[in-house]
Amino acid sequence: MTPVGVAFVTGGSKGIGAACAVALAEDGFDVALTYADDSAGAEKTEAAVERAGRRTLSFQADARDPDRASEVILEAEQRLGPIDALVANAGITRDGPALRMDRDAFMEPIEVNLAGAFYVMRVAARGMARRRSGSIVAISSIVGRVGNAGQANYAASKAGLLGVVRSLARELAPRGVRVNAVAPGMIQTRLTDGLTDEWRDALLERTALGRLGEPRDIAGPVSFLCSDRSSFITGAVLDVDGGLAL
C-alpha cells in the first residue's frame, strides 16, 4: 500500500508519543521518531510501526538542541521522504513547590517542552511551507490552561506552547500549513506514575468520564488532526481530558 505520507513524532519511545506513532502508521504514514534515552522503547515503537506495514526510523535527540532538530528532520526526509505531519510531543516534568523551585528546575521543562517543540516545529515547517502542505500538532496539557499546584514550570511551558501554536497557525496558513494543539488531561503515562492515591482519587472525582485517560485516547485525535479529515482546522486547541472539571 502506498503511504499517505511521512510523519515525525518527537518523544516516540513511550506513552503518548509511542501511541501517536502507531496510530499514524495504522492510518498509512511512514513514521520517524525521536527519543531522549530510551532506545529499547524506541525499538518497541519501531516494531509496532513495522507491524502496521510502514517504514520507520528512530533518532536519539536532546530536544533542547536546535542543531539536532535540524539534523534529524533532514535525515528523516532524505531516507523516508518529505514530512507531511509533525507531532511535537517530547516533554518532561520537574514538579515541586514554586517557593522552593530553583532556576534549573524551573527552566528545564521550559527548555524541553516549549523551546524544544519550537525548534522542531520551525524546521519541519520550512519544508512544509515550501511544499504548501502539512500539519503540525503540538502536545500541550490541560495544565497549560488551568495551572496546577506544584507545576508552575510545567504549566508555563505548556501554556507557552499554546501561544506558539496560535501564532504559527496564523503565520503558516497562507502557505497551506495547519498548526493545532491537543491538551490532554490526566493520562496514564510515566509522567503521572508518581501521583499519590489521594491525588489520583481527587482527579477521578473531577473527571466526568470517571477514569484516567490512556495514551491511545490522545493518539486518535492527534491522528485526526494530522489527516485531511481536519483540513479546515488550524489554530485550534483540542481538550482531551475526559470532561475534567466541567
The residues that are catalytic are: 154
Cell 520507520 belongs to 56
Are 187 and 214 within 8 A, CB to CB? yes
Closest by CA position to 128, among listed 79, 68, 169, 181:
169
- Asked if 99 and 150 count as a contact pair (C-beta separation under 8 A), the reply is no
Rounded (5°) CA angle 154-157-163: 145
| DSSP helix, strand, coil percent of the chain (3-state; round to 5) | 50, 15, 30
Strands (E), 116-235: 134-139, 177-184
